[in-house]
Chains A and B, each alone.
Chain A
Amino acid sequence: MKIILENLTKKFISRDHKNSVVIAVNDFNIEIPDGKLVGLLGPSGCGKSTTLNLICGLEEPTEGKIYFGDIDVTNLPPENRGVGMVFQNYALYPHLTVRQNIVFPLENLKGPDKMSKEAMEEKAMEVARLVQIETLMDRKPSEMSGGQQQRVAIARALVKTPGVLLLDEPLSNLDARLRLQTREQIRRIQKETGITTIFVTHDQEEAMSISDLIIVMKDGIIQQVGKPQEVYNAPVNLFVARFLGTPAINVFKGQIKDHKVYIGEDAIMDTKASDQEVYVGIRPEGFVPSEKGVFTCRFDRIETTGRDTSVVCHNENCISDEDIRAIVDDDLYTHKDKVIRFNLKVHKTYVFSMDEKVIDE
């Protein structure tokens, strides 16, 4: 099902500060296409979970509309929206078995939708097979691993075949190895069912790896929407550029003078923009060591972390971190000099104005 958010706004009265208004979600306008896996991404406290709660109906928006398909569901209570939701802590009923947990939503059905015991059982087994927990049906949640609990929670959310599936930080309670597995599971389940799925995460790698579409948020405002790689390659502002990618992007203070971009004394690239102070962001993979490189840094050391070899160096104009990290292709790369020079890949180097917006070439 297609989801449209129109001028969606949610304001809270803050409890800690004296009646100050917090805008958790600020004027959202977005159309989420049918059958996609969408990652809602942002640092903690940016309003992603509130957005999710608005979509499922647990909270009411201050302004704006929510459409599922062509239907305005803004004021509809959650149970009538046909959504399934998986909570961060899974919220499995501890006193019920897996089977009872999954059947629970079906037992709520009334009137013409009411199902027979056998039909419920069959439906429960069907989703259990989908998430591969059919052998665990008689266990209690406390007797299962985090990953298994997660899958039970997904099964319970799916059992009524919702039009929309919402996942709140689905992987945050799992350890690193399980996280990789589980995100592939989520991807697979979403593809098999074709249900429009929105998941919230603060982990950019998680969002980048499985989403069809990512929405980057900050302070209740949508920063950028697009396919993960597009957003990564063409961030619209400094926040998005810094938020996506590990190791993080290196940011420098720079100037534009006479259609050239300078970091310190080094003219690193040409530009059409007018003279101004700027920020320059260079992705770690955007550095190419070269004897005659345009960008000069003080060499510190070489770090090898299994897959990547990176040169760690310093430059006084760098404002993101003391260490600049440049990933080099050659894993046997060595360097002896005190100074190191790089050429820069143009599509990995971004120039931002002082108000942090990207300056288009």
Chain B
Amino acid sequence: MDEIRKLERKSRIRNTLWKTVIFALLIAWAIIVLFPFYWMLLTSVKSYSSYNAEYIPKFFTLSPTIANYIQAFTAVPLAKYFANTLIFTLITTGLMLIIIVLSAFAFSRLEFKGKNLVFTLFLSLMMIPNELVIITNFVTITNAGLRNSFLGLILPSITSIFYIYLLKENFEQIPDELYKAAKVDGTSDFKYLWKVMIPICKPTIITVVILKVIECWNSYVWPRLITDDENYFLVSNGIQTIRESGFGRENIPAMMAAVVVISVPLILLFLFFHKKIMEGVSRGGTKG
């Protein structure tokens, strides 16, 4: 009997111990994840003088100010970067969507000579890293005189073989009978695509859009290569410029205000769509 009680107690102690360790680990990592966000928010509302006066930084502030935000928008063309990024993101995502829907439709629904060959070619191109092709693209765009233009920014990033593949797989899950029924009713291919396939595959399309928007918003390498005119900077380049030439002096609170402004759109997007985004990323995202 005593034996039994001992076993019971042992298992209870072990369980509590495990739970504690697990929670400690998770909370510790949550702090590490959240702290930079808290810090940038905090710093962005500290005034320049009070920030520089704190030898030991305070973990809170009693006199928040929006002066830094005003400065971030006036001293550097933050609004311009913002608008550029918005335009870049919207146009790139929109054009890409048209292209991938058309090709996914061709691959999944139409029968024509050479289809499988092209698809195989596309698949093999998926393995090619961006770093290899970016060199020539840089030369191509430069020679075409498209540096410092939206066209130059947008053109190389409006095809994604991976998203074509993702969407094609999804289109293929739509039963053939639907297509046959539509054909019997005299529906044209294009109308079928628009009225049947796209609505059915809306979840995948939304996933693709979200992933592409995140990618565009954070893109840095290509814009950096192709633009040196501030009028065409995206937020990532803007941030880098702010970091390097800044506000004339090292104005960290203003920098942080800019960082907050740049981060907020995606964080909002994430808060509203976190289920969708996480689902989408685990289905088709890659990073790291």
Chain A nearest CB: distance from B37 CB in Å? 31
Report whether over half of chain A's contact residues are helix, strand or loop; otherwise say mixed: loop
Q: Which residue of A lies closest to B1 (CB)?
A: A71
Shortest C-beta distance, A82 to chain B (Å), equals 12
Asked if residues A76 and B1 are in contact (CB atoms below 8 Å), the reply is no
B56: CB under 8 A from chain A? no
- Tell whether B8 is near chain A: CB-to-CB under 8 Å: yes
Q: Which A residues are in CB contact (< 8 Å) with B11? A: 76-77, 80
Instruction: Give Cα A71–Cα B4 distance, bound, in whole angstroms.
Output: 8
The main secondary structure of chain B at its interface with chain A is helix
Interface 1/0 per residue, B141-167 and A, CB below 8 Å? 000000000000000000000000000
The count of residues in chain B whose C-beta lies closer than 8 Å to any C-beta of chain A is 6
Q: By the criterion CB–CB under 8 Å, are A77 and B7 in contact?
A: yes
> How far, in Å, is B284 (CB) from chain A's closest CB?
26
**Contact partners of A71 in chain B: CB under 8 A:** 1, 4
Closest CB-CB distance, A90 to chain B, in whole Å?
Answer: 27
Chain A, Cβ-Cβ closest to B7: A80
Is the beta-carbon distance between B1 and A75 smaller than 8 angstroms?
no
Q: How long is the Cα–Cα vector from A76 to B4 in the complex, in angstroms?
A: 7
Contacts of B4 in A (CB 8 A): 71-73, 76, 80
Instruction: Report the separation of the CA atoms of residues A77 and B12 in the bound assembly, to the nearest whole angstrom.
Output: 9
A72 to B5, CA, bound (A): 10
Most buried by B among A71, A72, A75: A75
B:252-282 near A, CB below 8 Å:
none
Across the interface, which residues of B come within 8 angstroms of A77, CB to CB? 7-8, 11
- The digit string for B1-44, where 1 denotes a CB below 8 A from any CB of A, is 10010011001100000000000000000000000000000000
14 sampled A-B residue pairs with Cβ under 8 A: A71-B1, A71-B4, A72-B4, A73-B4, A75-B8, A76-B4, A76-B7, A76-B8, A76-B11, A77-B7, A77-B8, A77-B11, A80-B4, A80-B11
Using a CB–CB distance below 8 Å, which chain B residues touch chain A?
Answer: 1, 4, 7-8, 11-12
Given A71-B1, A75-B8, A76-B8, list of 13 further CB < 8 A pairs? A71-B4, A72-B4, A73-B4, A75-B12, A76-B4, A76-B7, A76-B11, A77-B7, A77-B8, A77-B11, A80-B4, A80-B7, A80-B11
